[in-house]
Structure 1
Amino acid sequence: MIITEIITEEYRWPRARPITNGLHTYTDVEFALVRVRTDEGIEGIGLGSGGDIWRATIEHLKPLLIGQDPVNVERLWARMWVPKLIGRRGLTTRAISSIDIGLWDIRAKVANLPLYKLLGGYRDSVPTYIAGGYYEDGKGLKELAAEMEENVRLGARAIKIKVGAVPIAEDVERIRVVRDAIGPEVKLLVDANCAYRWYDAVQLARRIERYDIFWFEEPVAPDDYAGHRKLANQTIIPIATGENEYTRYGFRDLIAHEAAAIFNADAKILGGVTEFMKVAALAQANDLDIAPHGSQDIHVHLVAAIPNGLILEYYRENFDPMWGEIYRDTLVLNKDGTVSPPNVAGIGVDPNYDVLKQYRVA
């Protein structure tokens, strides 16, 4: 089998209302794919970030990949990742990630196994939290509480909200309201998206410890390893980070600085499935857990595959107006608040191109 063609596709559609986290506002949903085709008719779907640099990087990499056997993922990763020129960090690494995910989709299809079983098959369903609690126009404490109560009714055993875009006292009140809404048994996670200096993060952490916070995610800038450590040393709340970290080397440095207890590794960012599994093994050797950031569609397999997969991030329909229409089959919560990987060969993502085509932008 050889790779014959690599195609990129990018889509965008508007949200009814913009959503805001600690630092950024999002008016649209962006969705990007890499389609890796082979001479045997097997196509791998890689999930991506899109954009000019992402697209140009994939064009640059095509000559290195076309004509190669897609099953040789380590060989192809090494061909793509040449850190003097491409792939050390940033958008070029994200492009490598997208291709690598597509290669693993092919690999699992060739093996006729769901990806999580090919990678290790540690469990058949994974603990899950619903991500939400964004800042939105017209969304006050009452609306925030209602959102969280709905999450619990859907079966969530854990939920996450955003912090960092308003004064600390206001976020403390938001957290109090959410804890009251979900009760004492549901895990409560908070995510600052790098909004704080370490000393401000300490102020917030100390004031919210009473609300039994499961983790404090991305409290400070990704490269502020010392700030992560200073915060971790002054709070009982576990620190989670890593969604903006790249390759095994970035996570090696997080470990060396004792920066976090939980890694939010993202296969779409750090270097794909190939590199994610190395990060997971590195974390396991240091008794650290992995709780991936972002796309549940790829990460449900990766959390299910490894023994130190802690919990899966899950986005429901209120996050994306196209939820339930992007793919022909959509991951849903089980009654016990877990999510099960698709029991089909590959990743199990089957884009609904008939619906998507009206939103294509590149």
Structure 2
Amino acid sequence: MKITEIITEEYKWPRAKPITNGLHTYTDVEFALVRIRTDEGVEGIGLGSGGDIWRGVVKQLTPHLLGEDPVNVERLWARLWVPKLIGRRGLTTRAISSIDIGLWDIRAKVAGLPLYKLLGGFRDAVPTYIAGGYYEEGKGLRELAQEMEENVRMGARAIKMKVGAVPIREDVERVRVVRDAIGPDVKLLVDANCAYRWYTAVQLARRIEDYDIFWFEEPVLPDDYDGHRKLAQQTSIPIATGENEYTRYGFRDLIKHDAAAIFNADAKILGGVTEYMKVAALAQANDLDIAPHGSQDIHVHLVAAIPNGLILEYYRDTVDPMWGRIYKDTLALNADGTVSPPTVPGIGVEPDDAVLAPYRVA
């Protein structure tokens, strides 16, 4: 089997209302993918980030892949990730990630297995939390509580909310309201998206500890390893981070600094499935858990494949107005709050081209 063509597709659609996390506001949803085609008719779908740089890097890397066997993922990853020239961190590594995910989709299709089984098949359903609790215009405490109550009615056994965009006393009240809304038996996660210095993160952590917080995600900037460690030493809340970390080397450094108990590794960012599995093994060797950030469509496989896969992040229509329409099949919560990975060969994502076509931008 040989790779014959690699193309990128990018789409964009507006949200009814912008959503804001600890630092950033998002007015639109951006969706991008890589299609890797072969001479045997097997096509791999790689999920990406989009944008001029991402698209340009995929184009630049394509000549290194044409004519190659897509099953040789280690060989191709080493060919693409050459720190002196391209890769190491940033958008170039994100582009490599997209390609690598597409290669693994092909690899699993050729093997006739869903990706999670090809990678290890540790379980057939994974614990899941619904991500939300963003700041929005007109969304007060009552509306926040209603969102969380709806998540619980859907079957959620864990939910995540944003902190960091308002004064600490306001976020403490938001956390209290959410805990009251979901009750004592649903896990509550908070995510600051790097909004704090370590000492202000300590102030928030100490004031919300009584609300039984499952984790405190990205409290400080990704490169502030010491800040993560200082915070972790002064709170009982487990620290989670890593969604903006790259390759096994970045996670090695997080471990060296005792920066976090839980890694939010994102295969679309850190280097793809190939590198994700190395990060998972590194974490396992240090008795640490993986709870990936981002797209449930790829990460349901990666949580299900490994013994230290802790929980899956799950986005619903409150975050994306096209939820349930992007793919021909959409992952849904099971009655027990878990999500089961697709059982078809590959990743199991088949974009609905007819639905997406009006939103294509590149």
TM-score of the superposed pair, with normalisation by structure 1: 1.00
Q: Distance in 1 between matches of 2:178 and 2:317?
A: 20
Please list, as runs of the form range in 1=range in 2, the aligned pairs for 1:267-346 lying within 5 A after superposition: 267-346=267-346
Counterpart secondary structure, 1:345: coil
Q: What's the secondary structure of 1:254's corresponding residue?
A: helix
For residue 112 of structure 1, what is the amino acid of its counterpart?
G
Shift of 1:276: 0.1
AA aligned opposite 1:341: P
CA distance, structure 1, for counterparts of residue 84 and residue 264 of structure 2: 26
| Count of aligned pairs | 362
How far is the alpha carbon of 1:17 from its aligned partner?
0.2
**What is the letter of the counterpart of residue 187 of structure 1?**
K
1:296 is aligned with what amino acid?
Q
Show the 5 A alignment for 1:344-359: 344-359=344-359
Is residue 124 from structure 1 mapped to residue 128 from structure 2 by the alignment? no
Aligned to 2:157: 157
Matches within 5 A, 1:1-362: 1-362=1-362
Measured against aligned partners, the alpha-carbon deviations of 1:291-347 in whole angstroms (never above 9, x if no partner) come to 000000000000000000000000011111101110000000000000000010000
AA partner of residue 79 (structure 1): R
Give SS of 2:26's match: strand
Percent of residue pairs identical = 86
- Does the residue aligned with 2:15 lie in a helix, a strand or coil? strand
CA distance in 2, matches of 1:166, 1:330: 34
- CA shift at 1:200, angstroms? 0.2
Following TM superposition, by how much is the alpha carbon of 1:152 offset from its aligned partner in structure 2, in angstroms? Answer: 0.3
Give the counterpart letter for 1:279 in structure 2: V
- Tell me the distance in 2 between the aligned counterparts of 1:357 and 1:97: 24
Q: Which runs of 5+ in 2 are unaligned?
A: none
Residue identity in the other structure for 1:144: L
Q: Give the secondary structure class of the aligned counterpart of 1:99.
A: helix
| Amino acid across the alignment from 1:169 | R
CA distance in 1, matches of 2:139, 2:317: 17
Q: Deviations over 1:51-79 (max 9, x none)?
A: 01101101110110000000000000000
Instruction: Please tell me the residue identity of whatever aligns with 2:337.
Output: G
Structure 1 CA distance for aligned equivalents of residues 117 and 216 of structure 2: 31
Give the whole-Å Cα distance in 2 for the aligned partners of 1:64 and 1:85.
13
Report the AA paired with residue 29 of structure 2.
V
> CA–CA distance in 1 between the matches of 2:333 and 2:317?
12
The whole-number CA distance in structure 2 between the counterparts of 1:189 and 1:325 is 27
The two structures, once aligned, show a CA RMSD in angstroms of 0.3
What is the CA deviation profile of residues 37-62 of structure 1, one whole-angstrom value per residue up to 9, with x for unaligned ones?
00000000000000011011011101
SS of the equivalent of 1:6 reads strand
Q: State how far apart, in whole Å, the 2-side matches of 1:256 and 1:148 are.
A: 36
2:85 & 2:242 partners in 1: Cα distance?
Answer: 23
- Aligned partner letter, 1:280: A
How far apart are 1:221 and its partner, in Å?
Answer: 0.1
Separation in structure 1 between the aligned mates of residue 115 and residue 126 of structure 2, nearest angstrom: 14
With structure 2 as the length reference, what TM-score do the two structures score? 1.00
